[in-house]
């Protein structure tokens, strides 16, 4: 397994600020969302923040596992579907939330279930951008985002190795 060249570590504070920025964008859409469907696991934390900021009390999950390594994204497996009542009318009035769209494969799978839903991610890579409606920050396709729930506190090498500090 090879690690990506570009790393983008995100702290809890930064993730919270970025998710609140996403909430601001969503509130500016002048659209009333009746529920959130978060894509687990990455969508759990932003869904909690967005539900507070937009006062959306009804939250469901769609559980999709993706087999991947740090370079390639593999096949997806649906572990838990969406409540039937939220799928009525093609998901109209539903906000689908995830932390990141990478290739867009997961978003496309959920969009088949909820074609009229609004899709929002905190971060997006170029291949995934066409599959979602709203996001905050775009990073290059070859960047690996290290989310705060995946990290511990450790020393980080400088970007320019061998620099005199």
Domain assignment present for 153? no
CA–CA gap between residue 123 and residue 129 (Å, rounded): 9
Task: Check the annotation: does 60 bind a ligand.
Answer: no
Q: Is 98 a catalytic residue?
A: yes
Does any domain span residue 112?
A: yes
Read off the CATH number of the domain in which 44 is found: 3.40.50.2020
The verdict on whether residue 105 carries a ligand-binding annotation is yes
In a domain, 159, yes or no: no
The verdict on residue 156 lying in a domain is no
Band (pLDDT 50/70/90 cuts) for residue 74 is low
Mean pLDDT of 156-161: 75
Does a structural domain hold residue 157?
no
Strands of the 59-68 sheet, one edge to the other: 73-80, 59-68, 35-40, 94-101, 118-124, 134-138
- Residue ranges making up the domain that contains 106: 6-142
Q: Tens digit of pLDDT for each residue in 2-14?
A: 556 789 999 999 9
Domain total of the chain: 1
pLDDT in tens, 95-145: 999 999 999 999 999 999 999 999 999 999 999 999 999 999 999 999 999
Radius of gyration of the chain (CA): 17
Confirm if 140 and 5 have CB atoms less than 8 A apart.
Answer: no
- Strand-pairing partners, residue 63, are 40, 80
- Which residue of the set 98, 133, 142, 150 is catalytic? 98
Q: In the annotation, is 99 catalytic?
A: yes
26 within domain boundaries: yes
Q: Name the DSSP class of 81.
A: -
- 38 found inside a domain: yes
Tokens read off for 126:
């170029």
13 is catalytic: no
| 128 inside domain | yes
Residue 50, marked binder: no
């Amino acid at each position: 397994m090879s690690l990506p060249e570009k790393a983008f570590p995100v702290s809890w504070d930064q993730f919270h600020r970025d998710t609140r920025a996403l909430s601001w964008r969503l509130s500016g859409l002048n659209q009333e969302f009746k529920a959130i469907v978060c894509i687990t696991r990455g969508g759990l934390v932003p869904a909690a923040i967005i539900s507070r900021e937009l006062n959306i009390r009804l939250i469901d999950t769609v559980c999709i596992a993706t087999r991947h390594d740090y370079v390639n994204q593999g096949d997806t497996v649906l572990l838990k579907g969406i409540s039937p009542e939220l799928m009525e009318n093609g998901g109209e009035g539903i906000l689908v939330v995830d932390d990141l769209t990478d290739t867009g494969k997961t978003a496309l799978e959920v969009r088949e279930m909820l074609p009229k839903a609004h899709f929002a991610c905190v971060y997006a890579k170029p291949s995934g951008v066409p599959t979602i409606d709203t996001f905050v920050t775009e990073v290059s396709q070859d960047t690996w985002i290290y989310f705060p729930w995946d990290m511990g506190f450790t020393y980080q090498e400088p970007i320019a190795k061998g620099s005199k500090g």
